[in-house]
Amino acid sequence: MKKIIVLIFFIFILPESGFLQNARNIDSLRRELKTFQIRKTHMGQDPSSLTDSTTANILDGLALEYLNFNLDSAMIFAREEFLLSENTGFRKGIANACISMGKILHTQGDLNQAMEYYQKSLKISEDIGYTKGIGNIRLSIGTIYYNEDVYPEALTNFNISLKIFTETRDKVGMARAYWNIGTVYAAQRKFLSALNFITTGLKIFESQGMKESIANSYYSLGTITMLMGNYSESLNYCFTALKFRESTLKNTDGVADIYLLIGQVYEKKGQLQEAFSYESKGLSMVQATGNKVLLRKAYANLASVFYRLGKYQTAYDHEVLYQQLDDSLYSRESSAGWRQCRCSMNLIKKHRPIAYSV
């Protein structure tokens, strides 16, 4: 099933911080680890064989910080945490390491391996009564089910998380659970329920000053209201998301994705020059970063805009670029002849006089 809405899962997979904040946090954690090693050395212990929960917790913090921008480093610290915790019988550390490794694999697209680590972390967390860990793992497990279009299981896990975070008064956890439940309802085209849950989560994010999560929430609201046909409202949400995303970090892909969404909304409003302008801005940005998923989206959007502008050859050229990336991303092989036929059919289907869909 093709998702009607692309809602990236980093709200609960990745920490809420930009690159500069990550760098400050990493420096702080490294200093803390070094200080702890020196103190242990003065106590007559080998710093290379530190075997306590403090070190495991520091390694876990480093793994989570590196998740934002360097998955290889994140995996190194997560594995160190796992080995240290396993050697000392620190089961909470094992659970944390497993969920960190699961998040890394999840981000890399290896959902089966990620699920194995999540399930191992869940079992340990349940055995030792690690409530916060259970809530976080349920969010991650629910996301895999969402990615696989298994919406009932996704909702089950997200609702368990919401219950846990509500009982423990974890506001940020509650906000993430509300947001995730909203994404499932959006994928099921239950738009009013989706708006309700995402808006509830947004209010909490705003109360906590979490700018990146605020930006993601407004992006989601912009997408949903576009699908509902409320284009003016959608643009308001999109431009608010853009303001927050531009102010938080140099997230080029994140800004580009909002440009692409704004272009889609303008196209649906029939304002094709505005649509072309924003889609072109988005394309230029993702060409610089090389993000294939967003490049695919940009080519598809521009193919549609060019077709409606009557520039059929240019529309066809962009459709070809879209299909090539689509085949590459999803490991499909297509002959040149079949791709040409498919591109032509796609353009015809997109622009029948009846429903125009995303």
| Domain locations along the chain | 1-202
Sign of CA dihedral 42, 43, 49, 54: negative
Confidence of residue 96 (pLDDT cuts 50, 70, 90): very high
Residue 11 confidence (pLDDT): 41
Which of 1.25.40.10, 3.40.605.10, 1.10.3470.10, 3.20.20.80 is the CATH number of 1-202? 1.25.40.10
Q: Please determine, for residue 51, whether its predicted confidence score (pLDDT) is greater than 90.
A: no
- Predicted model pTM: 0.76
When pLDDT is averaged across residues 190-213 and rounded to a whole number, the result is 95
Residue 168 confidence (pLDDT): 95
Rounded distance, CA 134 to CA 186, Å? 25
Task: Match 């989570």 to its residue by tokens.
Answer: 64
The torsion angle over the Cα atoms of residues 291, 293, 296 and 301, rounded to 10 degrees, is: -100
Residue 2 confidence (pLDDT): 43
When pLDDT is averaged across residues 284-293 and rounded to a whole number, the result is 88
Residue 316 confidence (pLDDT): 93
Q: 80-106 b/e with 16+ CB inside 10 Å = b? A: bbbebbeebebebbbbbbbbbbbbbbb
The model's pLDDT over 206-241, given as tens digits with 9 standing for 90+, comes to 999 998 899 999 999 999 999 999 999 999 999 999
Residue 55 confidence (pLDDT): 84
Percentage of the residues of the chain whose pLDDT score is greater than 90: 57
User: For residues 160 and 80, which has the higher predicted lDDT (pLDDT)?
Assistant: 160
Residue 13 confidence (pLDDT): 45
